[in-house]
Amino acid sequence: MGKAFKYGDNVDTDVIIPARYLNTTDPAELAKNCMRDIDESFAVEVKEGDIIVADNNFGCGSSREHAPIAIKASGVECVIARSFARIFYRNAVNIGLPILECAEASEKIAAGDKLEVNLASGEIRNLTRKETYKADPFPPFMLSIIKEGGLVNKIKKELKR
Amino acid sequence: MGMTMSQKILAAHADLNEVKAGQLIEARVDAALGNDVTAPVAINEFNKIGADEVFDKNKIIIVLDHFTPNKDIKSAEQSKKCRDFANDKGIVNFFDVGDMGIEHCLVPEKGLVTAGDLLIGADSHTCTYGALGAFSTGIGSTDLACAMATGKAWFKVPAAIKFNLKNKPSKWVGGKDVILHIIGSIGVDGALYKSMEFAGEGVAALSIDDRFTIANMAIEAGAKNGVFPVDAITKDYIGARAHTVYEADGDAEYEQVYDIDLATLRPTVAFPHLPENTKTIDDVGEIKIDQVVIGSCTNGRISDLRLAAGILKGKKVARGVRAIVFPGTNEIYLQAMREGLVEDFINAGVVVSTPTCGPCLGGHMGILAEGERAVSTTNRNFVGRMGHVNSEVYLTGPAIAAASAVTGRISDPDEV
């Protein structure tokens, strides 16, 4: 369970983790500057289990995997958006950061709402508003990557076989 | 139902007779690319996989281009990590300062991609090589790590949008104006997850450099890839390189078809803070600028420099404006010197940088202060992209950029 951080359309990877902080690969270091250019208070206020909720095309722009890494290392449990940019989508899946596409949730959730997410069923419960939204189910192939904890773990197992 | 050009390349690399939009496939890659920002993350992940060697020493490309020559100690350490990995694994196509260039200018120049290839790169502008009739797309560092180990990657087969081009562009209209016009029409998520396939007789009126610029910015419409048909201009560029020509089936399915009359397009500017905020030069109004940047993987090729130098030759950069040219590769730099373009730039008061991604992503070599404005031939004008969060980037082609350097405000090249 966590609190919603709410953003609009086209949240790009440059505001998620500005290029001036890309001279490191350390997740904890990246998390310190997560969302800095769109929301300076994010890195200070975010707590383990919190959830980012946005509108269209979340994660557009650069291919930097540092963006989902920074979000995951911030303690964010899940990102919910109406739609995701494609490289961000695959990066999130590949590193095991849960993401859900859900128009209704994107519309109805407000900043600060308490949310509970069931990744297996795609069910998003808004405890503040006493509402439930249903996200599109994850394709089984991608679910298998997330369940393995990311693509590297999946490939590692396959190579051992 | 027939397949699009992109689908045919994917099917061939997955050893399938047919693929359909939405299908998840695993495909062989002809090359996998990384840079000094994304390769270090990939190297961490590669080491976790536990593979001793890369799948093919000839098919991995690492280019140190983002923060090089290194801007600080941390970025020097990132570069060193790439260098050590390349040495350790015997990576043949490792490009360090001295023989590097901006990756998407360098890779085609070195002949490392050709028509019909499937190339992935941990850089979003990897879609550039669609100009040559290849399927190329940006992926992340984990994808790169897994491809370095296995030679394969997973793909969701994209649906496609077709852009039928006709007629010829007018004097100051180039590839940048074409793609900005398209992004302005369909939006920054107008081609989300899809292929942008360019077709029609108008393609023949676009040089290979124009096509690189157009394919390069397919990602700015959210596309998975942008691809051009292979014609005489492509074959002239790829020369003797072995290649395979794929053509879309006559009954290929497109989600949308746009007809674009190149003759009607005008030089175009994308206003802050999204590439879709476009206006033609006629509607720009009075916008004073502090900096002009000409270069990048979008517009750092020799024809871009020729166009800019042609406008700047014999003139002076306006007082109070910093103008920076950064050629895409050392070879482009040399060619610009041979043609006297570097002299024209310097005489006009322009500084010519070594090849680097530098200011495009707010890395180094031209960062903006609070409240400053730049006209830039780069590809993104997001909040804070070139520096301070309260700075602004206006995206244009090299003609408007050069003209604006002379006048100190965003200007029609016809004005100077």
**How close, in Å, is residue B35 to chain A by CA atoms?**
11
Beta partners for residue A125, in sequence order: A116, A132
SS3 call for B197 = strand
What is the per-residue pLDDT for B382?
97
Predicted confidence (pLDDT) at residue B408 exceeds the cutoff of 90: yes
DSSP B152-193: EEEEEPP-EEEEEEES---TT--HHHHHHHHHHHH-TTTTTT
Nearest to B49 among A38, A91, A155 (CB): A155
Joined tokens for residue A47: 């707590």
C-beta atoms of A63 and B139 within 8 A = yes
SS3 call for B27 = strand
Categorize the per-residue pLDDT at B108 as very low, low, confident or very high, splitting at 50, 70 and 90. Answer: very high
Categorize the per-residue pLDDT at B414 as very low, low, confident or very high, splitting at 50, 70 and 90. Answer: very high
C-beta atoms of A15 and B382 within 8 A = yes
CA distances from B12 to B8, B118, B235, B396 (A): 6, 9, 21, 37
**A23 within 8 A of B74, measured Cβ to Cβ:** yes
Amino acid identity, position B198 = F
What is the per-residue pLDDT for B348?
98
Q: Is B282 exposed, middle or buried (0-12, 13-18, 19+ CB in 10 A)?
A: exposed
C-beta atoms of A152 and B363 within 8 A = no
Question: What one-character DSSP code corresponds to residue A80?
Answer: E
Predicted confidence (pLDDT) at residue B212 exceeds the cutoff of 80: yes
Give the C-alpha separation, B220 to B192, whole Å. 9
Sign, CA torsion B399/B401/B406/B407 = positive
Of the residues B63, B103, B124, the best mutation for testing chain A's interface (the one with the most A CB atoms within 10 Å of its CB) is B124
Predicted confidence (pLDDT) at residue A141 exceeds the cutoff of 90: no
Using CA coordinates, name the residue in chain A closest to B391.
Answer: A37
Give the C-alpha separation, A120 to A106, whole Å. 19
Residue of B227, B21, B246, B46 whose CA lies nearest to B131: B227
B85 conformational bin, left if phi > 0, alpha if psi -120 to 50, beta if neither: alpha
Residue with tokens 């959730």: A109
The answer to whether B257 contacts chain A (CB < 8 Å) is: no
Query: For the segment B114-166, what is each residue's pLDDT rounded down to a tens digit?
Result: 999 999 999 999 999 999 999 999 999 999 999 999 999 999 999 999 999 99
CB neighbour list of residue A74: distance below 8 Å, 6 or more residues apart: A31, A34, A42, A43, A46, A50
Using CA coordinates, name the residue in chain A closest to B46.
Answer: A152
Residue of B219, B247, B66 whose CA lies nearest to B138: B219
Sign, CA torsion B357/B362/B368/B372 = positive
Residue with tokens 């890369």: B54
**How close, in Å, is residue A114 to chain B by CA atoms?**
29
Residue with tokens 């773990």: A153
Categorize the per-residue pLDDT at A38 as very low, low, confident or very high, splitting at 50, 70 and 90. Answer: very high
Predicted confidence (pLDDT) at residue A137 exceeds the cutoff of 80: no
Query: For the segment A77-115, what is each residue's pLDDT rounded down to a tens digit?
Result: 999 999 999 999 999 999 999 999 999 999 999 999 999
**B94 within 8 A of B10, measured Cβ to Cβ:** no
**B290 within 8 A of B320, measured Cβ to Cβ:** yes
Query: For the segment B11-41, what is each residue's pLDDT rounded down to a tens digit?
Result: 999 999 999 999 999 999 999 999 999 999 9
Using CA coordinates, name the residue in chain B closest to A91.
Answer: B140
C-beta atoms of A18 and B50 within 8 A = no
C-beta atoms of A65 and B122 within 8 A = yes
Percent of all residues in chain B with a pLDDT value above 90, rounded to a whole number:
100
**How close, in Å, is residue A141 to chain B by CA atoms?**
8
Predicted confidence (pLDDT) at residue B304 exceeds the cutoff of 80: yes
CB neighbour list of residue B318: distance below 8 Å, 6 or more residues apart: B405, B406, B407, B408
A–B interface: beta-carbon pairs under 8 A: 136
Categorize the per-residue pLDDT at B218 as very low, low, confident or very high, splitting at 50, 70 and 90. Answer: very high
Residue of B63, B65, B45 whose CA lies nearest to B54: B45
Segment (H or E) for A154: helix A151-160
Question: What residues in B contact A15, CB-CB < 8 Å?
Answer: 382-384
Categorize the per-residue pLDDT at B349 as very low, low, confident or very high, splitting at 50, 70 and 90. Answer: very high
Give the C-alpha separation, B43 to B31, whole Å. 16
Quick one: average pLDDT of A61-76?
Answer: 97
Omega cis (within 30) before B273? yes
Using CA coordinates, name the residue in chain A closest to B362.
Answer: A19
Nearest to B41 among A65, A90, A151 (CB): A65
Please tell me the pTM assigned to this model: 0.97
Residue of B248, B70, B73 whose CA lies nearest to B159: B248
What is the per-residue pLDDT for B49?
95
Query: What φ, ψ does residue B282 adopt, rounded to 5°?
Result: -70, -20
Of the residues B66, B141, B186, the best mutation for testing chain A's interface (the one with the most A CB atoms within 10 Å of its CB) is B141
Categorize the per-residue pLDDT at A158 as very low, low, confident or very high, splitting at 50, 70 and 90. Answer: confident
ipTM of the prediction: 0.95
SS3 call for A62 = coil
Predicted confidence (pLDDT) at residue A139 exceeds the cutoff of 90: no
Quick one: average pLDDT of B406-411?
Answer: 98
The answer to whether A60 contacts chain B (CB < 8 Å) is: yes
- What structural domains does chain B harbor? 5-261 (3.30.499.10), 268-415 (3.30.499.10)
The answer to whether A144 contacts chain B (CB < 8 Å) is: no
CB neighbour list of residue B240: distance below 8 Å, 6 or more residues apart: none
Predicted confidence (pLDDT) at residue B336 exceeds the cutoff of 80: yes
Question: What residues in B contact A37, CB-CB < 8 Å?
Answer: 383-384, 389
SS3 call for B262 = helix
Rg (CA), chain B: 20
Question: What one-character DSSP code corresponds to residue B92?
Answer: S
**B30 within 8 A of B65, measured Cβ to Cβ:** no
DSSP B100-120: -B-HHHHHHHTT---TT-EEE
Using CA coordinates, name the residue in chain A closest to B124.
Answer: A63
Q: Give the angle subtended at the CA of B104 by the CAs of B122 and B363, to the nearest 5°.
A: 70
**B3 within 8 A of B241, measured Cβ to Cβ:** no
Q: Is B364 exposed, middle or buried (0-12, 13-18, 19+ CB in 10 A)?
A: buried
What is the per-residue pLDDT for B292?
98
Predicted confidence (pLDDT) at residue A144 exceeds the cutoff of 90: no
